[in-house]
């Protein structure tokens, strides 16, 4: 703790926090994605676009964590006056931060897109389908542009990590303002995707306890929205050139938190069949994850003998209480020792 003249900065570092948060927010969603794939592929024998998108999202997030880890070893999270003692390290930190920003944006976009595609498979009302497609298309356009603009701010992108290379660049406030817009829009979409399941569930003929459980399980992305708000506050660090190795650390940390929460929230609704198998005492009424509103008459008979269906639109059951509930895939009844074929009548929209 030497202090020779009050001007020098303390030799503190955010590098351990950067590494710890990055890997925690990568490994936790990785576990949930693996569990999701176990349920979908092994238990249900199905694989959808939303599952593939979730895999791509977690791949980008792990890449982001790895890039940030290397950057932290080279000086990310330390004050600039310390890092610039080794100019080569400073250039590499700047390059790795740019790569990391793009990976974080893509991981976040894919995680939310995965959940939106999952919702597309269960909504039946036209306005909900239109809303979800609007969210998917606009979210991907805006965020892909943001990921590209990280490197397109200068005619020669190398200037971004090596100022010794001359190049014409945008004024710094342009990219900062665009990033603020992207952060705010991304957070708003988190809340839209988190609240939409409540609209789907709340008008159904279900017990309030069932409605609440289903809606909460489908709405955990609201925590990603909260993290997005905090991240947006830190986005002003993008224009902080005086001490960027220090100022960027909180922004990158909160980007990892948002990404991890978004991917985790997108995977949780698929895990209910696994929980039912782990806790067989759960009643038949309580395992249903996703409910369907009333639909026009159109009959289709499913063979449910092995707990599988020939379609991925869902499975509906009507109980003695008159409560109508549904799940993405049916669950094999526990304790059955004989093969049994159950014909279930399901009504659904063919969609336009």
- Domain ranges in the chain are 14-278
Instruction: Give 175-189 as a 3 state SS string.
Output: HHHHHHHHHHHHHHH
Q: Out of 1-10, 51-60, 80-89, which region has the weakest mean confidence (pLDDT)? A: 1-10
Residue 169 has pLDDT above 70, yes or no: yes
Report which secondary-structure segment, H or E, holds 46. Answer: none
pLDDT for residue 212: 73
State what percent of residues in the chain have pLDDT above 70. 71
How far is the C-alpha of 153 from the C-alpha of 176, rounded, in Å? 11
pLDDT for residue 310: 32
Instruction: Dump pLDDT digits (tens) for 202-228.
Output: 766 667 776 677 677 777 778 888 888
Q: Out of 87-91, 152-156, 181-185, 210-214, which region has the weakest mean confidence (pLDDT)? A: 210-214
pLDDT, the chain, mean? 76
Contact 249, 14 (CB under 8 A): yes
How far is the C-alpha of 193 from the C-alpha of 113, rounded, in Å? 10
The stretch 114-121 carries a mean pLDDT of 89
Cβ burial of 132 (10 Å; 0-12, 13-18, 19+) is buried
Residues 6 or more apart whose Cβ sits within 8 Å of residue 251: 231, 234, 235, 237, 238
Report which secondary-structure segment, H or E, holds 241. Answer: none
Instruction: Dump pLDDT digits (tens) for 147-166.
Output: 999 899 889 999 888 888 98
- Residue of 282 and 252 predicted with greater confidence: 252
**CATH code of the region 14-278:** 1.20.1070
Bridge-based pairing state of the strands 315-318 and 324-327: antiparallel
Q: How confident is the model at residue 11 (pLDDT cuts 50, 70, 90)?
A: low
* DSSP one-letter code for 236: G
214-219: long-range pairs with CB below 8 Å, 24+:
214/288, 214/289, 214/290, 214/291, 214/325, 217/268, 217/269, 217/272, 217/289, 218/269, 218/289, 218/290, 219/194, 219/195
pLDDT for residue 239: 63
pLDDT for residue 280: 66
How far is the C-alpha of 248 from the C-alpha of 24, rounded, in Å? 19
pLDDT for residue 238: 63
């Amino acid at each position: 703790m030497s202090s020779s003249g009050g001007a020098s900065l303390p030799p503190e570092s955010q590098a351990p926090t950067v590494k710890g948060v990055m890997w925690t927010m990568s490994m936790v969603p990785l576990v949930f994605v693996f569990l999701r794939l176990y349920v979908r592929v092994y238990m249900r024998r199905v694989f959808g676009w939303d599952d593939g998108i979730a895999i791509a999202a977690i791949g980008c997030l792990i890449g982001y964590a790895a890039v940030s880890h290397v950057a932290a070893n080279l000086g990310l999270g330390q004050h600039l006056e310390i890092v610039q003692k080794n100019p080569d390290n400073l250039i590499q930190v700047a390059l790795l931060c740019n790569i990391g920003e793009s990976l974080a944006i893509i991981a976040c976009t894919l995680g939310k897109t995965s959940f939106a595609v999952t919702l597309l498979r269960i909504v039946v009302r036209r306005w909900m389908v239109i809303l979800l497609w609007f969210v998917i298309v606009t979210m991907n356009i805006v965020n892909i542009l943001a990921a590209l603009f990280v490197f397109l701010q200068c005619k020669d992108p190398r200037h971004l990590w090596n100022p010794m290379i001359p190049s014409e660049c945008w004024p710094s406030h342009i990219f900062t303002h665009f990033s603020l817009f992207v952060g705010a829009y991304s957070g708003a979409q988190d809340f839209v995707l988190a609240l939409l399941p409540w609209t789907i569930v709340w008008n159904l003929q279900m017990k309030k306890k069932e409605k609440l459980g289903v809606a909460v399980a489908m709405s955990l992305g609201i925590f990603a929205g909260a993290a997005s708000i905090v991240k947006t506050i830190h986005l002003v660090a993008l224009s902080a050139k005086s001490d960027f190795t220090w100022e960027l650390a909180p922004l990158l940390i909160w980007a990892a938190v948002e990404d991890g929460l978004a991917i985790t929230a997108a995977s949780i609704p698929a895990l209910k069949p696994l929980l039912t198998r782990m806790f067989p005492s759960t009643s038949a009424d309580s395992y249903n994850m996703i409910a369907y509103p009333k639909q026009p008459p159109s009959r289709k008979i499913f063979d449910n003998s092995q707990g599988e269906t020939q379609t991925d639109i869902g499975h509906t059951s009507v109980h003695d209480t008159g409560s109508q509930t549904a799940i993405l895939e049916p669950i094999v009844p526990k304790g059955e020792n004989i093969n049994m074929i159950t014909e279930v009548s399901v009504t659904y929209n063919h969609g336009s």
